Structure 1
Amino acid sequence: MTQGLRTFLTFQDGAATGALDLYRDVFDDFEILEIEPYGPEGPGPDGTIKAARFRLAGSEFSCADSPITHGWGFTPAVSLWIDCDDLDELRRLFDRLSDGGEVFMPLDDYGFSTRFGWVGDPHGVTWQLNLPA
């Protein structure tokens, strides 16, 4: 039996704290629900995120800093989709999330949406930002 679905973001090199700080700054409805840092006993570096659960844009997420170095990171093949309320919000999210990150598709009319953009934030998480018609 399925107990629920929640996106889990695996960060490396202590990036979870920076990502949580960015999302707290960018999203008005951001809320940390639970957070547990690694202590001096490890296995991750002291103060990095052992487990966190947070809410933003009406969805719940979990994340952690992996104490294991993986040969992979985030990929644009899986991204987070945000429907914005207005053009100002769309532009603000696009600008803030892409600052120090990467723009995959600049804000434009792509046929399936009159105003859409796709960015990777500085921590590697990708966001598809849309203004519904």
Structure 2
Amino acid sequence: MTKRHDTSVTPFLMFTGKAEEAMEFYVSLFAGARIEEIQRWGAGEPGAEGSVKIATFSLNGQQVMCTDSPPVHDFTFTPSFSFYVSCVEEDELDGYCSALSAEGKFLMPPDNYGFSTKFAWVEDRFGVSWQLNLP
């Protein structure tokens, strides 16, 4: 196998009807975040017409791809994959905690767990996991 330096690696999130809502929510949280491209399922295609076939958005320079999968699978998101957000100020971490935990849940509520000043692990309303850290 040839190892290439120009091969890209991008996180990919699979939703079943909530991809656009999730992207809009995520880009609303981070300064400079944006939805870069959305391709939609058309009439007669496997996905619900108008839903996200494939999309790309960026969060603080990190590209993320997502889709609305036509079939519902026996699996969903797991906390073993998460977005790790290193915060600069405590009020930033608290704001992310508040927004991401709304209709979601804390896996580890905000606290000092000994490895940082303040840390929280949140599963948002879409089932995506976020680790929020204040070093």
Give 1:120's aligned amino acid.
E
Q: Which of 2, 8, 12 pairs up with 1:8?
A: 12
TM-score computed with the length of structure 1 as normaliser: 0.94
Q: Distance in 1 between matches of 2:81 and 2:92?
A: 22
Larger CA Rg, structure 1 vs 2: 2
Q: Distance in 2 between matches of 1:51 and 1:23?
A: 16
Give 1:68's aligned amino acid.
P
Task: Judge conservation of contact 1:57–1:82 (CA < 8 Å) in 2.
Answer: no
Are positions 1:111 and 2:103 aligned together?
Answer: no
Per-residue deviation, residues 81-113 of structure 1 (Å, max 9, x unmatched)? 000121111110110011011111111000111
Q: Distance in 1 between matches of 2:32 and 2:118?
A: 23
Q: Which residue is 2:26 aligned to?
A: 23
Q: Which residue is 1:58 aligned to?
A: 61
Task: Judge conservation of contact 2:12–2:66 (CA < 8 Å) in 1.
Answer: yes
Give 1:52's aligned amino acid.
A
Task: Judge conservation of contact 2:58–2:64 (CA < 8 Å) in 1.
Answer: yes
Identity level (%): 43
Q: Distance in 2 between matches of 1:95 and 1:15?
A: 20
Q: How many residues align?
A: 131
TM-score computed with the length of structure 2 as normaliser: 0.92
Shift of 1:18: 1.3
Q: Distance in 1 between matches of 2:102 and 2:59?
A: 19
Q: Which residue is 1:76 aligned to?
A: 79
